[in-house]
Amino acid sequence: MLPGTLNMLILQVLSRKKANGYEIAKMIEERSEDALQVDHGSLYPALRRLEANGWVETEWAMSATNRNARYYSLTAAGRKQIGVERNRWREAVLAVSRVMGPA
């Protein structure tokens, strides 16, 4: 997992639907075709940061598998933040590409 990308990835998957931590990790792993493994020792602290920044909000609810789970959903600020992170990522990749050259 590239440092600095986890926040963006979490916000992205939450832009589709609210989810609990376990589901967020699974979605990132599945959508990356298992290329990204979300360590849950990284995930929960990251979710705390997102909440502290006002980008996600939480509520406790029963999961589809009948467990008590903390659900995360994007705030309005969180939706804006996705754009910020996307642009930062795109520019970072472009900048690295310019240095690394083709192939």
Residue ranges binding a copy of itself (CB under 8 A): 2-5, 8-9, 12-13, 28, 31-33, 35-36, 86, 89, 91-96, 98-101
Round to whole Å and give the CA distance between 81 and 66. 32
Considering only residues 64 to 103 of the shown chain, the ones binding DNA according to CB under 7 A are 64-67, 69-71
Tokens of 65: 């598998």
Round to whole Å and give the CA distance between 79 and 90. 17
* Binding residue for DNA, selected from 46, 50, 56, 82, defined by CB under 7 A: 46
Nearer residue to DNA within complex by CB, 61 or 79: 61
